[in-house]
A = this chain, B = another copy of it.
Amino acid sequence: MDRRNTIQRQLVMQAVQGLDHPDAEEVYENVSREHPNVSKGTVYRNLNVLAAQGEILKVETGDGADKFDFRTDQHYHLRCRVCGKIFDAQMPPIAPEQFLGDTHGFTVERHNLEFIGTCSECNKSGGQKNG
């Protein structure tokens, strides 16, 4: 766990902070713009390192590529099922564990709550998709 503060790591961190729920590809493009020599493998590795350290959040949507979030406090997301974009939900953290019955030995560590639907952009363009 003896981590080093490489240029590449800093660039990846800055990209995540400067973008809105980017995926690895978007982070790579953003970093590449100024530093074309940084490889995609390094971007993936650093995203994982930063997420493991808790400095960023990996958002596994199960719908295409994973997204990354500079907000690490407990919060929830809206996910558009048409374009896949993620938005922060305006909603306070809840304690759903209080409604949870017997878990049969399962130890709950955290929870995810996501709202699925269509974003305002996709609503406009009438872009529908089965769902």
Which residues of A pack against B, CB within 8 Å? 52, 60-63, 66, 78, 80-81, 87, 89-92, 94, 96-97, 99-120, 123, 130-131
CA distance A41 to B35 in the complex (A): 41
- Copies of this chain in its oligomeric complex: 2
Residues of B within 8 A of A110 (CB): 115-117
The reply to whether A119 and B105 form a contact with Cβ atoms under 8 Å apart is yes
For A67, give the chain B residue with the smallest CB separation: B62
Least CB separation from A121: chain B residue: B105
Q: Are A119 and B106 in contact, with the CB atoms below 8 A?
A: yes
Given contacts A60-B62, A63-B60, A91-B96, contact A111 B101 (CB under 8 A): no
A89, B110: Cα distance in complex, Å: 14
